[in-house]
Structure 1
Amino acid sequence: MSTELAVDEAIRALLLMMPRLVARAKRIPVPEEIQSLELSPRHLSLLSYLLFDGAMTVNELAARLEVAPTTVSLLVAELSRKGVLLRREDEADRRRRIVSIAEDRLPVIEGWLARGATAWRAALEPLTPGQRQMFVNTLRIYELGVRDAAEPR
């Protein structure tokens, strides 16, 4: 395989690879313990933030997910009813709620999301910090471009 690609060659390779990548990611089996929860991609992003970054407020989650706090509140309420998340008062400000993954659900969620983290680690570790940053920035720009193309004009 060549080490350098022209832009059109890279686009072709990525357009052919992306459907396979998405299909394989979707085939990662949902652990039996949480299959009945009917988790959507937004749930997975929310759980990933809580798993990797720890407990946080609804507003912090909303900022990271780039959605309205009301959307996060609905997701948190739904997952709290299902016993996946816990909401507690913030000791510093009792008006705020801190959201975290329920301790009894943590191992299964951590094990499930670890598969993707392991694959990303294998892909990113050989890169320099600058190359990793460029890769993440490139995917972010692609995501924004696809999002903008999908929105009606």
Structure 2
Amino acid sequence: MTRMTPFSNPLLLGFDTMEKTLERVAKAGDSYPPYNIERLPSDEGGKHRLRITLAVAGFDEADLDVSIEENQLVVRGKQADDCARDFLHRGIAARQFQRIFVLADGMRVTNAALRNGLLAIDLDRPEPERLVKKINISVTD
């Protein structure tokens, strides 16, 4: 028996990668670190702008890595465990994380800034050009 999905419609050609991406996103259940995504006002160029803000208290700039891998924004954090300190109680763990955000085509990261324990990553998407392409029809008899 074949599995029917919303993307198996014959009119949706080439969307199989989107289905795999949605399945991968649905499986991601880790909630650390917490984050916000907000829509920023459009700039004068009409670009759609977003800001992702992650709560990364305790992480220094050297402990964080922000990269784009294929169509994914990947934020990694790794703290070194300080063995020289003698804790009576340890409630703040030296914890590593990896948070992945799937980006739509055309999304660009414009800035990343760390301030007061919050990592803000700005993204924009310029308005795509409207492209109309004439396809020639060949006649064979």
TM-score (norm 2): 0.25
From the CA coordinates, give the structure whose radius of gyration is larger: 2
Higher helix share: 1
Q: Which has the higher contact order (CA 8 A, sep 6+)?
A: 2
Higher strand share: 2
TM-score (norm 1): 0.24
